[in-house]
Chains A and B, each alone.
Chain A
């Protein structure tokens, strides 16, 4: 019975290999489910494989590093053609990623970069450009006000120490430094959560009489702050201009409702960019060690406000695209 099973399995594998001679097998080790953003990220990459006719071996690590290590070793044993990898933590990957290198399987890093990335081989790395997102928040604000009068800015920072938080803060300050009439009068962490964003904004409103604009390093904190502003008897979106980051669905709803002004996109839909790179690699082109960013936009109530250095890229009216949003 066992022999027969083995034989049957071998047969299936052989047939499978013949049938898919041209198709690629891609192993994808994902951290697990944690947010709508993550779900959209996973779905995008799965959809890519389906669209291209590639086989995807997906592994959900349920937020555990040991599960990911196991998954990566399984991918090596299975001899997949490519490995997509998002690490749940940044450290402790040296050994298993070296094994991937030794097995000569091309490695693509997605979203979160491991600390050891400089010492391993990979053919592509896809992640958000957090500094640019911060710059865009500030540029949009400067262009929206388009004034030489003093503008009082408050910032809700993300979780202290998180790359998304430090880099966005860097980007914001870099642009605002060039526009001295925009004064940052308060900057405090809201830990990327609605509740803390709300509590911190509540205190900002008491400590400062005149706040013109709120830059929140993610949409959740902005959404929390909206209620704090309402509780202070002010009108969010009018008395205080609110700019968020990430472009989640709830932020679009708030912009359309007039409670919020703009949101800078942090795109989880890596599918197209990854597919493009894999096709290039298949055609014999070399990989890149440069961090690649997916296309990202800016969405606001009226649209048409520039957010890049040259002033060429214009924001999109949120109400026009709300129906197409996937996360």
Chain B
């Protein structure tokens, strides 16, 4: 009994949940309408700010699934944002315009739709593998290795589209980011499927334990017979693939590719989601559930800023303050301090009792 109470203060995942609930609570007190959700018959979707939060957090949540394991390995992947741009650029390059809807003159070819999905995902997976090989086989520092694609990725995206921004009206493609299934925006469904698959793969096999082991001590793991370079390669390749999915969602939402702006700062948001979720940057133990909460916290803050009309100039400062509070509360010294205070109170209570 005593033990479980102590662990709540040291449990970062619990703190993340508390932080998210507190932010929502404040929002709800200021504006009860914030929680209003209704079914919109015209679009066939549930409609409300809470739905928006989950919907708009999809890209970061999906990328952060991979990023969690990257960080658990003691690494970082700063190329994910650029890969989002790459996926969008190649999808739109293959798609261009729907000639039947927009009879604009010019060289517009509509490739089989399956290629529009598969090619960008394959390219991003290959780029993830490239990162993995540099880090796993050539032992490059992750931040340096992924810096290459962070810079080159946007260049590749620009070249693929000749520096132009294509727009599409093709309904099947727009469905990925704007469609709905079971009354929910489709990106939410994609996120659920991706998170469930990653969690099953990681926790129902020994893979998660391998990742943690390599993260704590790669040399010791190798000596015990773990092929750490292979595990590193799989994790970075997976992250590349997931960035590709996020890229498709992003470009589908805006029905276009935007090589300059797509996925800008996503690497930072994804890392932040992982850290808010309680996974340590030093590697080792990781929590995928925590990461999902972390991603939701980031999006909740952004949505609040828009909803309550906080002025454009103060957005950055506002976000920074909230994140600072959450991270400080989660930090080890504060957790310990709260735990000892709790223990002391309990002792006093016992003595009195």
Chain A: residues with CB nearer than 8 A to chain B?
33-36, 39, 157, 160, 186-189, 191-195, 198-200, 202-204, 206-207, 220, 223-224, 227, 230-233, 250, 253
Contacts and interface: CB of A to CB of B under 8 A. Distances in A.
B312 interface: yes
A231 B43 contact: yes
B48 A198 contact: no
A321 to B, nearest CB: 15
Interface in B36-55: 36, 40-43, 45, 47-49, 52
A270 B104 CA distance: 27
List 4 tightest A-B contacts by C-beta distance, closest first: A203-B306, A189-B312, A233-B42, A194-B254
A203 B260 contact: no
Contacts of B163: 33-36, 39
B193 interface: no
Given A202-B52, A230-B43, A231-B45, 8 more contacts: A35-B163, A36-B164, A199-B306, A206-B33, A206-B48, A227-B255, A232-B43, A250-B256
Given A33-B158, A188-B312, A193 B43 contact: no
Contacts of B56: 199, 202
B107 interface: no
Contact of B258 (A157, A188, A195, A231): A195
A230 B256 CA distance: 16
B306 A223 contact: no
Contacts of B256: 194, 223, 250
B43 A233 contact: yes
Interface string B35-78: 01000111101011100100010000000000000000000000
Interface string B246-280: 00001001111010111000000000000000000
B312 A250 contact: no
20 contacts: A33-B158, A33-B163, A35-B163, A35-B165, A157-B312, A160-B315, A187-B309, A187-B312, A193-B258, A193-B261, A194-B256, A198-B254, A202-B52, A203-B52, A206-B33, A220-B258, A227-B253, A231-B178, A232-B43, A250-B167
A207 B308 contact: yes
A195 B306 contact: no
Contact of A250 (B31, B49, B165): B165
Contact of A203 (B36, B250, B303, B312): B303
Interface in B209-259: 250, 253-256, 258
B80 to A, nearest CB: 16
Contact of B261 (A189, A195, A207, A223): A195
Given A203-B307, A204-B306, A233-B42, A160 B49 contact: no
A323 to B, nearest CB: 9
Contacts of B260: 34-35
Contacts of A198: 253-254
B47 A36 contact: no
A188 B306 contact: yes
B313 interface: yes
A203 B33 CA distance: 12
Contacts of A36: 163-165
A33 B47 CA distance: 40
B102 interface: yes
Given A203-B49, A223-B167, A233-B40, A194 B307 contact: no
Given A36-B165, A253-B104, A186 B258 contact: no
A195 B167 contact: no
Contacts of B104: 253
A194 B52 CA distance: 16
B319 to A, nearest CB: 13
Nearest to B299: A199
A239 to B, nearest CB: 11
Given A188-B309, A204-B306, A233 B47 contact: yes
Nearest to A195: B254
Contacts of A199: 52, 56, 302, 306
Most buried by B among A39, A160, A187: A160
A253 B313 CA distance: 33
Contacts of A230: 43, 178
Interface string B295-328: 0000000110111110011010000000000000
Interface in B91-125: 102, 104
Contact of B47 (A34, A157, A223, A232): A232
Contacts of A189: 312, 315
B303 to A, nearest CB: 6
B254 A186 contact: no
Contacts of A250: 165, 167, 256
Nearest to A200: B306
A30 B305 CA distance: 37
Nearest to A165: B312
Nearest to A205: B47
A206 B165 CA distance: 29
A279 to B, nearest CB: 32
Nearest to A231: B43
Given A189-B312, A203-B303, A232-B40, A195 B164 contact: no
A34 B162 CA distance: 10
Given A195-B262, A253-B104, A206 B254 contact: no
A206 B56 CA distance: 15
A207 B47 contact: no
Nearest to A186: B309
A280 to B, nearest CB: 34
- Among B36, B40, B255, B312, residue most surrounded by chain A Cβ atoms (within 10 Å): B312
A35 B257 CA distance: 12
Nearest to A192: B261
Nearest to B314: A160
Given A33-B163, A195-B261, A232-B40, A160 B313 contact: yes
Nearest to B163: A33
A39 B104 CA distance: 21
Contacts of B45: 231
